[in-house]
Amino acid sequence: MSLKHRLLAAAYHPLRIGNILHHQVSGQSSGRLRVLLYHGISPQEEEHFAAQLRWLSRSWRFINLPQFTAMLAGKENVTEDSLLLTFDDGFTSNRRIVENVLNPMKIQALFFVISNFVDLSEKGEWRSFVTQNIFPGMKSKDVPAHWQNMTWDDLSYLLETGHSIGGHTTNHARLSQVASTELVAEIIGGADVLEKRLGVEVDHFAYTFGDLHSFSPAALEVARSRFKYVYTGLRGDNARGVNSWAIRRDAMAATNSFSLMGALLEGGADRLYANSRAEYDSWSRLVCPT
Ligand SMILES: [Zn+2]
C-alpha cells in the first residue's frame, strides 16, 4: 500500500466519527449517494472482493440503477447512505463475479462496455487490445487472463440476471486526444452497437480513463447529446445537486483494505478532486445551459 493510502486508511475512524457528528449537528436527514468503480477481479481476489461488499453492507445500502437515477433526480429521497456498484471495460472476470458474488448477494450492478472489445474472438487479440487501448504501454505478457473480454453471450447473461449495460466508447480512446470529427463514432457509435446487439436501451455512459485530462467539453457535448447519464472517475458524493452529466465515482481495487475503502467513501480523498469537479461542472454549464 502506498503511503498516501496508508494515511487514508488510518484516518477511517476519525473521518467516520467526524461525519456522523457533522450529520447530527447539521440536522441533515438525508444520506450520501456514491458510486463504486471496479475493473477486472482475479480469481484470487474474488473472496476478498466478496468480503469488501459484506463489510460495506454494514454501513451502506447497495441500490440498483432505477433507484440510483430516481435519487439523483431527487424523485426518491436518499434516506440511507447508498451505493451503486459499477464496473468498467467489460472484462471476462465480471461475469464470474456476477455468478459467484453479486447474484447470490442480490446486488445489481452497471457494467460499462467497450463495443469493439466485445467483438474480439481470436486467441490473443484481446491482449493486444488491452495493451494498445485500455492500459497503453503495458506489455502483452503482463496482461492477466481475467482481463480477457466478455462475449455477447456474457452480456446477455448479465442483462437476464438483472444487471445493466452502459457505453464505454468504441475503442477506449482517450477522448481529449480524439479529433472532434471522431468523437461521435467513438462515444455514440459504441453505444449504438451495444443497443442493437443486446436489444436494450443504453442511456448511461462512462468516460474512459476517468480523469479530467482524458475528457473535454467537446466530448461532454457529444455524450450529452446521446446519453441521459454520464459518469466520470472524479471522486465525490452525488447526493446533493450533482447533475446527471457529472456523476462522481470512487475507483476501488479488490485488494483495498476495508479501512481504505471506508476512508474513501467517507470522503477522505474528495478534497483532492475539488478543482477537477469544479472545472468539469463549469463545462456542464457551458455545454448544457439551464
Ligand atoms: Zn475504461
For residue 241, which of 18, 33, 23, 5 has the smallest C-alpha distance? 33
Does any domain span residue 60?
yes
How many CB atoms are closer than 10 A to CB 139? 9
What's the gap in Å between 151 CA and the centre of ligand 1? 17
Does any domain span residue 25?
no
Does any domain span residue 190?
yes
* Overall pTM > 0.85: yes
Does any domain span residue 195?
yes
Containing structural domain, residue 146: 3-17+31-287
pLDDT at 20: 84
pLDDT at 247: 98
pLDDT at 290: 54
Strands (E), the chain: 33-38, 61-62, 82-89, 109-113, 164-167, 204-206, 229-231, 250-251
Does any domain span residue 23?
no
Cα separations (Å) of 147 from 119, 124, 156?
14, 11, 19
Q: Profile the chain (290 residues) by mean pLDDT over runs of 10 residues.
A: 86 87 77 97 98 97 97 94 98 98 98 96 86 93 94 98 98 95 96 98 97 95 96 95 95 96 95 94 73
What's the gap in Å between 174 CA and the centre of ligand 1? 9
Number of domains composing the chain: 1
Helix (H, G, I), strand (E, B) or coil at 170: coil
What's the gap in Å between 194 CA and the centre of ligand 1? 16
- The CATH number that applies at residue 81 is 3.20.20.370
Does any domain span residue 24?
no
Rounded Cα distance between 15 and 9, Å, is: 10
What's the gap in Å between 186 CA and the centre of ligand 1? 13
Does any domain span residue 265?
yes
What's the gap in Å between 90 CA and the centre of ligand 1? 9
pLDDT at 18: 86
What's the gap in Å between 206 CA and the centre of ligand 1? 8
In the numeric block, the cell 468516460 is attached to 207
Does any domain span residue 22?
no
